[in-house]
Structure 1
């Protein structure tokens, strides 16, 4: 019967920053469903990577499951395709719909007996999608395709694929394959991977092909690929697409600074660090922030001038004016930062005004303010509009302002407004992050070395519109500036980028061809649409949600097929999936399971016994109670430890030996099943002989006790386990506390008698007999009487001894003190 799926609703949030690398995995209510195959195809064209990832999963259960796929991508990446393929090759692709309509489709499908599924972003950069259903013994393959702009630093381009599958599962993948094609307008000199052994080959046309493939392999680390390109002082990539001649085209311009710089190439800068030291910053948050700000000071450039402002209810300025960078000033600033502590309220207004007063009107210097807080204004002027209005009015020096918010209590509207209206950016960090200091350091590294400031673009004879970002940021070392927009006519244009370096105007010409008509680089149109949607979303986050802005975001999302908080991917199949619950599957297995075997539906093996097996009764003698020495516990504190229970230890050792035998046998069966199509699914009288003959076992299993009988619960080629009728299994050991009904239930079925080398079935019974008259009297009352006669006096003696010993120990300090007093008294007299 054709398996069918309804797949899925994906909600993508747009935020700044980068994400931790995690691998894909499939989870459901009873645990984790491992991946069996992974195939990745990556096309990198002029630093834009399109990753097509196929992940195959298998449901080994007898019931239908509804798992969730979780996969991380870069937060600025754009998911452009998403589909699910069932075991028979039927593909169900997703399309973009408004969230309300997607929810309606979901509910209607559910009412019609389909298997609807929804997915939301669980955290920034990670989306989770529920598959409608994977039927029993069925495969499912998920395809995700997303595009992203790769990071560029000093001539090196890097690509990262989350590939640490070992973090989420133990079974190896049958196949793990990655193929990468790299093309670039600039010459590619080298391609390397420091994480995996790759095969890289350069084609005649300059394209590089990279291959990594392994079978029976469990990836334990992310896949990282780096390649070097030769570029001029300012590396540029210019891409266009115009699929419809009658419509405006799309362009993308990437600008990267020089690979090698000297101190003279760094812009002179005035920078002020403002740090919140209110009471809510106490503890680990304060310590990590201090560590990060100390790092900021140590990373200052030699031509910088700097200042520090700390604030809580009051504002504390480190120095009344900006100081040049020197070893002495760094040392004094570090001491000031180290002395900061958290207390009081949050005077945001006063701290911002104090910071602006430190800047002067010196020419040829770029000005930067870094402001960090974890809360809302609570002291002084607290109205957000007043704070922003007065800050903008006082910012006559055109200070570029970066705002950093820590935790969920920050006033994001306030921080966004300050950053947006003062040519900066807002960055938000999780309060639960264990590495706040590392994230702050990474942020500062990205702005620590300005190379070109106050940028402007002259588009020449090209007619462009809707260019993003609207305000060009500075160019910093190790960063890349990406500009996207639309154009009207196909022309060849001379674009000029201008900026300033220490009062000297710098100009960089860019040769650009705006195509009249082109179906290449179609991802550029989606990148432009996402950039515009991001800008609209930022406006709504800063100035409030407006219906016309929301409608425009939805229209962009539906036209260019990418997800937003207002839209979702949704797909519906037409065939319902057979619904088999876990409880129903268990009942069916119990109903179909005969007394002579546990897995009649399992694949038969040649040579397996087909006849009935005899019932096994294990006869044991009733053992006499042992004398105990619980009275020794009176000799505290070591008495209880000095009397071992040898019988219990012996029983535990036998159980552990039996469990070790089970693990060895299970490992041998797993290796056998990997090498054979006809697998071992249950214990029978041929299993151990076959394993020994096939060299999967060196010798026959030596039982921990003569009466050990091994059986199996569930198919051994799937999720079944081996269990002993006497000791149980590691997950369910049999001891005195085990429910007899549980033991009785487990002992029903088929077991292999390790001692006699045959199969017993129907029932494994343990019967106690051979009790003598003395044992009967001893166990009934004589052992208890002797235990009391021995242990009561022993306990009293031990208790008296322990009290005396405690008195002697406690009196020693007093005797010493008394002796010292007597000694001094004697000297005085």
Structure 2
């Protein structure tokens, strides 16, 4: 084999081997995505052939959206289908550790695509044979900035004979928007986004509430995109008519329901945004310049009536005042600048211009006193919440408090323990109730800590990738939270009509413009039209929209299961809780979702042991793989797959398990030193055995001489001296054999 395929793609990726073997050929790559009521089920099918005259390893890599769950995986080979199954993460880990302890290899593939998880699978394919991979994943599409975005990654690395993407959308309300922007051929956001429809996309509208999108370039059209064919992300954007269905409950015959809530026409709430900006030494260079560019754009997008504050921090925490210059030299630990009402500034054109001038003067130096900066931000937020007037922004009580923290490093200073920071900031924030949004800039930031801090404080955590478009990533994130419409939203259902234990989250800190709130649950027996009142901090939010429209649908159960598992895992990430984790695992196993608490295991063809798929084999080494080897496709944010033995079937030992064999092999020949003389014997791996010669085993029992691969005993697996002392025999005058006890029933390894 001798090659390593390391690429991220949502389709098949193949590579030419180091020995120059003809590369595998992608005959068919189909992606079919069915979207019903915002819930998308996507099937990737890749048919690949090995045109070479010898066997070689073929790799399948699929990039999935960050919030998607794999639900099915199949490998079809030689008219045999190998289907995966889901089991608990802990059980898989135990067996994985056992496999490593016994010397069987394991693989780890890191994710390199933005906001995604990667699946990597390799199989050994015989000469002139084909293999088909079928991967299904599911996700609930999130409405962001006024549209749902279904993203499909495509990167076959060669023109494909049969390349096709089909997306079928079916909603209960009329579709007001269906578009397919031009294929995005880079990870990075364009400064001037090209929203023109991709010329290869075909959109059909069978009904007002459905659409079919087809994208199937010919080989010539693929070559026009480059010598390696098409490569990029295809996005299908759509939205429903909000005037027709602003408050909709879908009820299925199995008793499950889902409630979508996104009222149109609400004016944005005025907000108080506290920008907490890391200007420590690690931000020096391109990062600080990108921060300046992003903030110049973000400040222009503040709404009339908003107020804002700026807190740059490093070894010192500074509070910006419109008429007081900031200093960035010879900082001393502590908080500088007087803390007073003038630090809460109205979003007027004059104040925004002054803020931009100050931001453009930022210099990066010092340490990362994050805890002090967050405490100062909470004091600022409290001042906005509790002040009834005065200062530059009378009536601050009406402003929704938002804190946006951006950092590229880990906290230091007097309080640097991340668990302690989360605990103390969360307790301190109970008074002001600010939503804290955290942005982890680059690989040096502790994303796990920042995400936990945000989840505990009614916000979300995001990664900002260190690239040329970082300022655009910052701008786009801010746009998602720029217009809060409702605060402290609660869905109140009639307790006699719904199973309250089945409900997903019913309390939301904020509804942002362009977004949507979703609740799912199960109805009590006999209920078909549940009653619900939606209330917010300022009163009854349903005053602004009609009562929920109840519509019957085929099924809402999987959507409920997906949303329940996703929210349970988020709650566990915020505050680790074994009960939440156990419930998430139970539901994920019931619905075959691959999550951070479950693993996907597929029986793998043509193998005899777990092997390391992330590293090339040693020169001259040809490690077979067992029919009982298994892939553990599990996800822990950016962790992808492990390879485990099958937990059900007994693992058959293989030649790869004999520790002394590999140094003595040269291809299919084995050289043994017997009584000072080298003897060369052939190694049979899958030859048919004929008649057996009788022999005597070391204990003096009766046996028959069989090919070594057919009778691998634990007595000599790791000890050559034990093998030579009595087990060695020769089959058909030239093959290395073993005197196998009569009572041992061992089938030859394939």
- TM-score under structure 1 length normalisation: 0.58
Aligned partner of 1:481 among 517, 520, 523 = 517
> Which runs of structure 2 are paired with 1:392-407 in the superposition (5 Å)?
392-395=426-429, 396-407=431-442
Residue number in structure 1 paired with 2:362: 340
CA contact (8 A) 2:170 2:209 kept: yes
In structure 1, the partner of 2:58 is 67
Distance in 2 separating the partners of 1:459 and 1:551: 26
Measure how far apart 1:475 and its partner are: 1.6
Partner of residue 197 from structure 1, selected from 197, 200, 216 = 200
**Paired position in structure 2 for 1:424:** 459
Given candidates 258, 261, 265, the residue that maps to 1:252 is 258
Maintained 8 Å contact 1:268/1:502:
no
Q: Structure 1 residues 140, 257: CA separation in 2 closer, same or farther (over 3 Å shift)? A: farther
**1:43-192 alignment, distance < 5 Å:** 43-86=34-77, 88-99=78-89, 101-102=91-92, 120=109, 122-123=111-112, 124-152=115-143, 156-165=147-156, 168-169=157-158, 172-188=159-175, 191-192=178-179
| Whole-Å separation in 2 of the counterparts to 1:21 and 1:270 | 41
Q: 1:120–1:569: structure 2 CA closer, same or farther, 3 Å change rule?
A: farther
Q: 1:293 aligns with which of 285, 292, 295?
A: 295
Partner residue of 2:588 out of 516, 533, 557: 557
* Residues in 1 aligned to 2:405 and 2:621: alpha-carbon distance in whole angstroms: 59
CA–CA distance in structure 2, aligned partners of residues 33 and 341 of structure 1: 52
Cα-to-partner distance string for 1:302-331 (whole Å, 9 max, x where unaligned)? 110111011112111102431111111111
Considering fraction of residues, name the structure with more strand. 2
Q: Is the 8 A contact 1:273 1:369 kept in 2?
A: yes
Is contact 1:119-1:130 (8 Å) kept? no
Kindly state the Cα deviation for residue 139 of structure 1 after the two structures are TM-superposed: 1.0
1:310 counterpart residue number: 312
Q: Is the 8 A contact 2:491 2:506 kept in 1?
A: no
Are the equivalent residues in 2 in contact too, given 1:306–1:323 (CA < 8 A)?
yes
Higher helix share: 1
User: Structure 1 residue aligned with 2:532, among 495, 501, 523?
Assistant: 495
Q: Distance in 1 between matches of 2:260 and 2:210?
A: 20
Shift of the 505–201 alpha-carbon distance from structure 1 to 2, 3 Å rule, reads: closer
**Aligned equivalents of 1:201 and 1:582: distance in 2?**
53
Corresponding residue for residue 472 of structure 1: 508
| 1:274-673 map, 5 Å | 274-319=276-321, 320=340, 321-358=343-380, 359-360=383-384, 361=386, 362-384=396-418, 387-388=421-422, 390-395=424-429, 396-411=431-446, 415-430=450-465, 432-460=466-494, 461-463=496-498, 464-469=500-505, 471-491=507-527, 492-499=529-536, 506-511=543-548, 520-539=555-574, 542-543=575-576, 548-572=579-603
Distance change >3 Å, CA 381–CA 483, structure 1 → 2: same
Q: Which residue of 2 aligns with 1:673?
A: none
| Distance across 2 between alignment mates of 1:505 and 1:229 | 19
Note the C-alpha offset of 1:300. 0.8
TM-score, normalised to structure 2's length?
A: 0.64
User: Residue 38 of structure 1 corresponds to which residue in structure 2?
Assistant: 29
Structure 1 or 2, whichever has the larger Rg, is 1
Query: Deviation of residue 184 (structure 1)?
Result: 1.1
| Alignment partner, residue 216 of structure 1 | 219
Q: Does 1:229 align with 2:240?
A: yes
**Quick check: 2:247–2:545 contact (8 Å CA) kept in 1?**
no
* Cα separation, partners in 2 of 1:370 and 1:333, compared to 1, 3 Å: same
Encode CA deviations 1:460-501: one digit per residue, 9 max, x unaligned.
353233544464131222223233344443521122222357
Retained in 2: the 8 A contact 1:497–1:507? no
CA distance in 2, matches of 1:126, 1:389: 30
Q: How many residues align structurally?
A: 544
* Equivalent-residue separation in structure 2 for 1:211 and 1:118 (angstroms): 36
1:654-697 per-position Cα deviation (integer Å, ceiling 9, x unaligned):
xxxxxxxxxxxxxxxxxxxxxxxxxxxxxxxxxxxxxxxxxxxx
Q: Does the C-alpha gap of structure 1 residues 33 and 521 become closer, same or farther in structure 2, counting only changes over 3 Å?
A: farther
Cα deviation, residue 121, structure 1? 5.2
Quick one: which of 13, 17, 22 aligns to 1:25?
13
Considering only aligned residues, what root-mean-square deviation do their CA atoms show, in Å? 3.9
Give the whole-Å Cα distance in 1 for the aligned partners of 2:144 and 2:443.
32
Sort the Cα spacing of 1:584 and 1:438 in 2 relative to 1 into closer, same or farther, 3 A: same
Which SS does the other structure have where 2:509 is aligned? coil
User: Which is bigger in relative contact order (C-alpha 8 A, separation at least 6)?
Assistant: 2
Query: SS in structure 2 opposite 1:145?
Result: strand
Residues 225-266 of structure 1 show CA distances to partners (whole Å, capped at 9, x for unaligned) of 3445322186344345575xxxxx5433233342xx5xx811
Gaps of 5+ in 1: 1-19, 244-248, 587-829
By how many angstroms is 1:27 displaced?
A: 4.4
Gap runs ≥5 in structure 2: 1-7, 181-196, 223-228, 322-339, 387-395, 612-616, 623-750
Mapped to 1, the partners of 2:144 and 2:585 lie a distance apart of 35
